Each structure stands twice: as structure tokens, then as C-alpha cells.
Amino acid sequence: MTIQSEFKVTGIGQIAIPVRNMERAVEFYQDKLGLSHLFSVSGLTFFECGGVRLMLSVPEKAEFDHPSSIIYFKVPDIQTAYESLLARSVYFEDNPHLIAEMENHDLWMAFFRDSENNLLALMSEVARN
């Protein structure tokens, strides 16, 4: 067996999200999204999100100071999640909408911005009856 065939990715352990204002970003992810704070160390703050750690960090170099990749947060009921976040003054780019009709479910999404203007999304896989 070769070394190449032994390697495989087993999941996502952590996602880094660049922020400009740590206090504001912590309030957004903790109070508005309701994520559990894990710990803070050396200017970094970590949250738990379904087995994946989200790391908030102020970029140390200009090359890291850019919007994050889009993170799609799974929710069981997208309309309830959307309305809850609207009530917490979260800015949405659009309303929840159908993205695709899959074989046994419909895929719905709604896109929103965090406190640092990073684009994020809610996603819900709605089973068909």
C-alpha cells in the first residue's frame, strides 16, 4: 500500500472566520446565532457548531484580511430560524427560498451577513411527505 492511498480527510475540525472587531463578532455568534463559546486565547475566540469549531480571529497580516468562505448553517426549520434571526436584527440578503428539488427532500437556503459583513447562509433539507 502506498502512502498516497493511506491518506483521506475524515471531516472538518475547524473553520477560521476573519473579524475586525472581536467584541462585536463574539456578540453576533454567541447572542444572535446562539453558538456555544468554547474558549478564548491570544486574541482568538472559539465556538462549537455541530462538532466543528469556529475560530474568530483578527487577521495578523493583510493577506488574511478578506471575507470568509460562505458557511452554511444547517437548521431543521428554515422559516423559524429566519424569523428568529430577523427578530435579533440579523440582516438577510434574501428570504428563504427553494434551491433544488432532490430525490427525497427539498433544499432551502437563505443568505445573511454577520457583524463583520461576511456572507453566511442557513440551509434546510426538508423531507417530502
Selecting from 3.30.450.80, 3.10.180.10, 3.30.479.10, 3.30.70.890, what CATH number does the domain 12-127 have? 3.10.180.10
Task: Give the span between the Cα atoms of 111 and 103, in whole angstroms.
Answer: 24
What are φ and ψ of residue 99, in 5° steps?
-95, -45
What is the tens place of the pLDDT at every residue in 5-36?
676 777 889 999 999 999 999 999 999 999 99
Domain coordinates in residue numbering, the chain = 12-127
Are the beta carbons of 56 and 17 closer than 8 angstroms?
A: yes
For residue 1, pLDDT over 80 is answered with: no
Q: What share of the chain has pLDDT > 90, as a percent?
A: 77
Are the beta carbons of 113 and 71 closer than 8 angstroms?
A: no
Residue for grid cell 463559546? 37
Are the beta carbons of 18 and 66 closer than 8 angstroms?
A: yes
